[in-house]
Chain A
Amino acid sequence: MRLLRRWKTRILIFFAVVGPGFITANVDNDANGIWTYSSAGAQFGHMLLWTMVPTTLALIVVQEIAARMGAVTGKGLSDLIREEFGLRVTFFMMVGILIVNFGNVVGEFAGIAGSLELFGLSKYITVPICAVVVWLIVVKGQYKSVEKIFLVASFFYVTYILAGVLAKPAWLDAMVATVVPPKRELFHRQDYLYMVIGVVGTTIAPWMQFYLQASIVEKGVTRRQYKASQLDVITGCIFTDVVAWFIIVACAATLYVHGYHTVSDAKDAAQALRPLAGDYAYILFAMGLFNASLFAASILPLSTAYTVCEGMGFESGVGKKFGEAPVFYWLYTILVAAGAGVILTPNLPLVKISILSQVVNGIVLPFVLIFMLLLVNKKELMGEYVNSSFYNLVAWATTIIMIGLTAAWFWSLKAGGG
């Protein structure tokens, strides 16, 4: 009894510390993240590790801006865009977000399908069931209690760190590759550019900014309590990227060095955990991927429905009845149903679709960043909490680099397919 109580206290303390920043970071390592990092490691070995340091810095800065705007204004990002830039801009922004996020939702269901296929379960059965479960969790207002289970299960990511260590990677090479910029020729390769955009797009996903800001507002964080949230955001970002680094290293050490350069399904990606779990690697991987996918599949459609409804001024909230917030519920339902529906298409290349959605994230990211930067630098909105010049430098640099990478990628497409 006492032991149980002690555990209970510990878990309670854990949840008291875990805030929106950490949760967002965890959802960031969703199915799409796992696929993208795994493919990056398998396809390019350590050649993408250099992106981790600048991306982490950018992620911290961007997430901090979102959190700060939430705490200072008490309003969501789409609310602010609407109030400051008007209906037309908001409308196009929301249509864009809807399309991009839909791609991400599809990726989550791809993760559900892929993970359960490892157990020999057909996606035609598992995906519809999971879609219904996800839908019910949210509509019945049980999300908050389920969130805790997801969070605890997220500790699966630690297995990647262990697997990465046990795989005996070329540590020195990995370290060097993390801090030394890559050779310039790599940027002439179309597939490499594609993967760089994908890695950044999955790490700094546009939906995260909307989601984090909304969570901060919902939690009621004010200017005064903001310091604590800042720490929460920074820890979350670092945790995400440490895991991402290890996924890449683990995949490089298990797949890339043995000549397996493509991750085409969950079976391939599961090999990365082999050093840790041997023949049982697939079980570990499947459970981890399943949890990550289901977690994100419940958050993403919901967050999207909130974002769009807030921006467009429709009633929203799981506390409301279907009839009171029809647009909100329909949007949510359609996102879940259609996201799951796409996956039911026979012979779908699940991993490719997932990575594509992350590349689209990366392409759209600068547009979201531009709006965030314009908003956070408005004195009448943020008062003394406007960005410092260092923040502006990092965030604008991220924006410009992403536009540059996208332009280079399109250029390489036009220049004759590689």
Chain B
Amino acid sequence: MATLTLTELLGAPVFDTAGNRCGRVREVALTPQEDRARVSQLIVRTKAGDRMMPFSSVLSIDGGIRVATPCSEWPPTNGAEGVFLLERDLLDQQVIDVHGRKVVRVNDVDLHQESVANRPVLKVGSVDVGVRGAVRRLLKGIVPMPALRTLLRRIPPRLIPWEFVDLIETDPARRVKLKISHERLAKLHPADIADIVEDLAPDEREAVFETLDEEVAAEALEEVQPKVQKAIVESLDSDRAADIVEEMEPDAAADLLADLPEERTSEILLEMEPKERKEMVELLEFEENSAAGRMTTEYLALPPAATVHDAVETLRQFEGGVESVSTIYLVDAEGKLVGAVPLAKLVLADQSTPLQSLTADPLISCHAGAGEKEVAELFDKYNLLTLPVVDDEGKLTGVITSDDVISLLRAKL
């Protein structure tokens, strides 16, 4: 399987069957909606202007491109809207290397040549983001090709296989038309997505967050720095923003909404489901720095009489984040906090054991108005994973999880 680079292909002469020169290759086009890798057309600069030559008419590539159809049959280019052009849309642009989990800039594109039914087929194999591609482009036309090839062989390539490349397209209409999605990006860990997104320009971030699935977008957004987080949410439509915010951990969502301009916050709240909206409004009323401002309202609470079996059943139904279920809380009929059962004890106990017999001693909790310093001290002193927050009457109102405390402390480092 021979490899050809985009730099070599651009500017290559095109000949018809009679051996007449029709023009030079100006652009290389893909039609991603049909095949993400296969070159579908070449734009050839002829005397009669730029023409779209279907790649199926190519007979051979090596030593000048030979084609079966006369150039008068090729349609004029007309803006080339429905295709992805390798030079215009890929070369020198930033793409996401999903495997290496970072944003990279494309120096050259490697095309793999195959043969199907005696006709050549070109497929994008990988993008070159290293020095080799850069040197090739800098020296092309200055140093003779054979000498350049020898030189390039000495430089180790830095290639990213095409299947690990995620394209960034900021125009929504084109994104839909060319079927550019972020399926591969979405499979990464939310924290990695967040790091990648932070490296992008605002429009590009918006593009990524518009295409990601809401749940993935929410998880990734939680991991993004507050400043960038705010910018992203402000750039999205209110209903899209609301969809994402609904999926976020309530405490993180509340922090984010509290940072936005008031008008924007209410727009987003209006688009939210009534239940989530109510919860969010309650959280927003707390001061951000108090225990209540840090807590999430997604936790597990059961009556004292419940058994391990009941707890496991409730756990199965639970939709909140995993970090808040490391402890299960016991509340009496009035909602007062009476006990806390660590998940580990639950796992080891028999199905019928009443939860009350598994509670950890002493029962640590803090008041909704407690300051962040007090919260951090409690976590440190009692080695907590979660800390229940109670109101004036001792009723459980929420839970602070250790990840929130770590973020808080890291912000002060």
Contacts and interface: CB of A to CB of B under 8 A. Distances in A.
A binds B: yes
Interface of A: 73-75, 82-83, 86-88, 90-91, 217, 220, 222, 224, 312-313, 315
A228 to B, nearest CB: 14
Interface in B247-262: none
Interface stretch (B78-86, B227-235, B322-330): B227-235
Interface in B190-249: 200-204, 227-228, 231, 234-235
Given A86-B91, A87-B107, A220 B138 contact: no
Contacts of B134: 87, 91, 312-313
For chain B, which range describes its interface: under 10, 10 to 19, 20 to 34, or 35 or more residues?
20 to 34
B104 A313 contact: yes
6 contacts: A74-B204, A82-B92, A87-B91, A87-B92, A91-B134, A224-B234
Contacts, number: 43
A220 B235 CA distance: 13
B93 A83 contact: yes
A83 B203 contact: no
A73 B138 contact: no
B137 A87 contact: yes
A74 B203 contact: yes
Contacts of A312: 134
B228 A220 contact: yes
A86 B138 CA distance: 10
A91 B203 contact: no
Interface of B: 91-93, 102, 104-107, 129, 134, 137-138, 200-204, 227-228, 231, 234-235
B297 to A, nearest CB: 30
A75 B205 CA distance: 12
Contacts of A217: 201
B231 A222 contact: yes
B202 A74 contact: yes
Given A83-B92, A222-B235, A313-B106, 19 more contacts: A73-B201, A74-B200, A74-B203, A74-B204, A75-B201, A83-B93, A86-B91, A87-B91, A87-B92, A87-B107, A87-B137, A87-B138, A88-B138, A90-B92, A217-B201, A222-B231, A312-B134, A313-B134, A315-B102
A220 B92 contact: no
A222 B202 contact: yes
A19 to B, nearest CB: 14
Given A82-B105, A222-B202, A224-B234, A91 B93 contact: no
A86 B133 CA distance: 13
Given A73-B201, A222-B202, A313 B138 contact: no
A316 to B, nearest CB: 10
A98 to B, nearest CB: 15
Contacts of B107: 87, 313
A394 B202 CA distance: 29
B228 A88 contact: no
Nearest to A75: B201
A73 B205 CA distance: 12
Given A82-B92, A82-B105, A88 B137 contact: yes
Nearest to A310: B105
A348 to B, nearest CB: 35
Contacts of B106: 313
A166 B201 CA distance: 50
A247 B203 CA distance: 43
Nearest to A70: B201
B231 A313 contact: no
Nearest to B136: A87
B105 A313 contact: yes
A185 to B, nearest CB: 46
A86 B102 CA distance: 21
**For B106, B137, B201, B227, which residue has the most chain A Cβ atoms within 10 angstroms?**
B201
A213 B212 CA distance: 29
Contacts of A220: 227-228, 231
Q: Which of B102, B202, B227 is packed against the most chain A CB atoms within 10 Å?
A: B202
A83 B227 CA distance: 26
A312 B201 CA distance: 17
A88 B228 CA distance: 33
Given A313-B107, A313-B129, A86 B92 contact: yes
Contacts of B202: 74, 222
A379 to B, nearest CB: 14
Contacts of A86: 91-92, 137
A241 to B, nearest CB: 32
B138 A91 contact: yes
Contacts of A224: 234
B137 A74 contact: no
Contacts of B137: 86-88
| Closest 9 pairs between A and B when the two form their complex, measured CB to CB | A313-B105, A74-B201, A74-B202, A87-B137, A75-B201, A220-B227, A82-B92, A83-B92, A86-B92
Nearest to A76: B201
A308 to B, nearest CB: 13
A67 to B, nearest CB: 15
A222 B203 CA distance: 10
Q: Which of B105, B107, B227, B231 has the most CB of A within 10 A?
A: B105
Interface centre among A82, A220, A222, A313 (most CB of B within 10 A): A313
A217 B199 CA distance: 11
Nearest to A81: B92
Contacts of B234: 222, 224
A224 B231 CA distance: 10
A313 B104 CA distance: 7
Contacts of A87: 91-92, 107, 134, 137-138
A90 B93 CA distance: 13
Contacts of A90: 92
Contacts of B138: 87-88, 91
A75 B199 CA distance: 10
Contacts of B204: 74
Contacts of B235: 222
B274 to A, nearest CB: 30
Contacts of B102: 315
A90 B138 CA distance: 10
A311 to B, nearest CB: 9
Nearest to A380: B171
A310 B138 CA distance: 17
A313 B94 CA distance: 9
A115 B134 CA distance: 43
Nearest to A223: B202
Residue of B107, B200, B231 contacting most chain A CB atoms (<10 Å): B231
B227 to A, nearest CB: 5
A312 B92 CA distance: 9
B173 to A, nearest CB: 14
A278 to B, nearest CB: 47
